[in-house]
């Protein structure tokens, strides 16, 4: 889904690099191909670039339909001052990339991000049972390794293959055909209600019986539709947890205001991560 944004009016957009990652693809799909992109070495660096005002926007992966939540992004959201102002869902189609002269028989190592390796587990077991698997910080880094070594293949996007002059030995090798990753768009600004919105919050609860029920009960009473709930250790106290919750609605909606009032009465701590248009 391209938002057909006027790229001339945009500032820079930070993404998890180097060039050729699915994060770059998500940024291009959200903002359009003409936007000025800044690659960052880590998800943490994307958040920092937004927080320090070095870029106007950042884009980070938050969950994959096959492998679940991206913990690094969730941990950054706990402490960050950046707000979520949009989302983009990208179809993940992995290709096996290698040097032009390399064949499958030449491949001794398979390099990729650990999530991508996991998403192609069945394919790799069947086709490369003895190949060494090399975990990289990104698929694009894997493509760089393949570019330098004829015995290494990378699992990455066709975009990465084009950027690093690699040949696709096989395409669409992911185990699940409907593999998709959801990305969050970050900024320091707020968004106005569009009429078709989602709100993301963090909820800290005490480690007591019924804590989750007390959090979820107001959603049911107010008729608010939950679209996602994830749990992570709070890192404040041992055995305390923080809930990442997405629900339909905007912070300016009356139902959402009533929700926050009810949660306050339940003596839980709420951090609003942002309200933004739903990705259709």
Question: What CA–CA distance (Å, rounded) separates 167 from 153?
Answer: 10
- 15 CB-contact burial (10 Å; exposed 0-12 / middle 13-18 / buried 19+): buried
DSSP three-state, residue 69: strand
Q: List Cα–Cα distances, 242 to 17, 97, 201, 265, in angstroms.
A: 29, 39, 10, 18
CA dihedral over 198, 220, 71, 75, signed as positive or negative: positive
Pairing of strands 226-233, 241-248: antiparallel
Task: Provide CB contacts within 8 A for 218, sequence distance 6+.
Answer: 224, 258, 259, 262, 263, 266
Check: CB of residue 46 under 8 Å from CB of residue 15.
yes
Question: What CA–CA distance (Å, rounded) separates 193 from 225?
Answer: 17
Instruction: Supply the residues annotated as catalytic.
Output: 181, 183
Question: What CA–CA distance (Å, rounded) separates 180 from 67?
Answer: 10
CB atoms within 10 A of CB 60: 27
Reading phi first (left if > 0) and then psi (alpha if -120 to 50, else beta), residue 250 is in beta
Residue 126, Cα to own-chain centre: how many angstroms? Answer: 28
């Amino acid at each position: 889904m391209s938002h057909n944004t006027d790229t001339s009016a945009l500032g820079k957009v930070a993404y998890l690099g180097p060039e050729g990652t699915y994060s770059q693809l998500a940024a291009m799909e959200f903002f359009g191909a003409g936007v000025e992109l800044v690659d960052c070495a880590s998800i943490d660096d994307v958040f920092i670039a937004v927080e320090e005002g070095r870029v106007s926007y950042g884009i980070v992966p938050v969950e994959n339909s096959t492998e679940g939540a991206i913990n690094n992004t969730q941990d950054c959201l706990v402490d960050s001052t950046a707000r979520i102002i949009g989302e983009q869902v990208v179809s993940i189609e992995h290709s096996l990339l290698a040097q032009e002269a390399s064949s499958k028989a030449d491949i001794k190592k398979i390099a990729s991000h650990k999530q991508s390796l996991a998403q192609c587990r069945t394919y790799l077991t069947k086709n490369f049972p003895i190949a060494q698997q090399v975990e990289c910080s990104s698929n694009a880094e894997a493509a760089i390794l393949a570019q330098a070594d004829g015995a290494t293949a990378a699992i990455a996007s066709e975009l990465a293959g084009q950027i690093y002059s690699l040949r696709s030995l096989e395409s669409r090798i992911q185990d699940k055909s409907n593999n998709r990753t959801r990305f969050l768009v970050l900024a320091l600004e707020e968004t106005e209600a569009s009429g078709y919105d989602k709100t993301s919050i963090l909820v800290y609860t005490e480690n007591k019986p019924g804590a989750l029920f007390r959090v979820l009960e107001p959603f049911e009473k107010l008729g608010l539709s939950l679209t996602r709930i994830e749990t992570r250790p709070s890192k404040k106290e041992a055995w305390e947890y923080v809930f990442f919750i997405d629900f339909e609605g905007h912070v300016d909606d009356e139902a959402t205001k009533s929700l926050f009032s009810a949660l306050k009465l339940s003596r839980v701590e709420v951090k609003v991560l942002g309200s933004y248009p739903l990705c259709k």
